[in-house]
Structure 1
């Protein structure tokens, strides 16, 4: 068994239930199409990564979808907020005997396989690896042992998450990855050519 585990948090791609902040500007249909595009991207840059991979669904495990069950182990998110859901996933991973565990979401356009390989490599040498997001959150978190405080007392979805998280581990050996942009709002994608086909109906 690989000592490395990648956790991927995903939402079931259903109309009106994903990318709601983006949908406020582009509409539910375009938001769903964009999210499906991002899910395809996530599969593309994770499927060949030489680590164990678990996908955590938000609502229901779908047996026949883009996540090939011969590559990804499928699980269900547990918890009432993002912190609890991430903490539960890490708990399950450490209980299963993994040494290095990294978690990502499924809405990253600028992430690639090389970035993840670097993150696991850095986690070999440090206690924590954090990928800062431009909006004040993080797009990636990796650790060698469960630190529950990282998932508690956070205003999830706000610009204080990264600073509060780094404050929790300020005395530890932390490696910061390159800052990247995740996709939450129209402004995050309006100037990226790959998203243009989804935004033709939008008038500035």
Structure 2
């Protein structure tokens, strides 16, 4: 399969936080500490890189603070940009607008902290946009782990209290008259309770026993 042709109309946006001690995942860090939280986040970043690197799509990593030229994100597979905006909604909106301005037909955004997200999930989401105008991956905490669309809709990024359990429902209300499909609900990682019984995280939690 020709990579250029296969990826020409699909764009994956990966929103990530620069992995630095004492930044990010503050609710998790409150229980397990900054060092363990940083190691878990690096583990999740590696997982996200692993499941996205072979996806037939253009891929852009959007860093929270600054571009790191030599890190886990292969410069030959990923473009790199910095998030721009006053809040998460504005930063996501700007990333989508930039993608659509470049002529992409389908754009999907994900974060970088979903252990139970796979390459096939992303392929399913892009395929869903053949039939639907919007695709949403609901998170069990009331947010979402994936959002995809074929046309930009600004309401999706306005009037949300980001990081709360109202985000998913408010988002679905914005597109209730649109052709929308939902993926399987998944659990993202914000609290110790989200990871304490998952074997993949045991190496990072030995100090909690």
* TM-score grouping bracket, smaller chain normalisation: over 0.9
Query: Post-superposition, which runs of at least 4 consecutive aligned residues in structure 1 deviate over 6 A?
Result: none
Of 142, 148, 157 in structure 2, the residue corresponding to residue 142 of structure 1 is 148
Could you report, residue by residue, the CA deviation over 1:118-152 in whole angstroms, capped at 9, with x for unpaired residues?
Answer: 00000111010000000000000000011011000
Match of 1:4 in 2: 10
1:21 CA displacement: 1.1
1:187 and 2:172 are equivalent in the alignment: no
1:19 CA displacement: 1.2
Distance 1:62 1:38 in 2: 17
Could you report, residue by residue, the CA deviation over 1:127-186 in whole angstroms, capped at 9, with x for unpaired residues?
Answer: 100000000000000000110110000010000000000000000000100000111111
Equivalences, count = 203
Of 16, 19, 22 in structure 1, the residue corresponding to residue 22 of structure 2 is 16
Of 39, 47, 53 in structure 1, the residue corresponding to residue 53 of structure 2 is 47
1:65 and 2:71 are equivalent in the alignment: yes
Could you report, residue by residue, the CA deviation over 1:77-101 in whole angstroms, capped at 9, with x for unpaired residues?
Answer: 0011110110010011000100000
1:188 CA displacement: 0.7
* Partner SS for 1:125: coil
1:34 and 2:40 are equivalent in the alignment: yes
* Partner SS for 1:54: strand
Distance 1:185 1:48 in 2: 30
Structure 2 unaligned residues grouped into runs of 5+:
none
1:27 CA displacement: 0.3
* Partner SS for 2:35: helix
TM-score (norm 1): 0.98
Structure 1 unaligned residues grouped into runs of 5+:
none
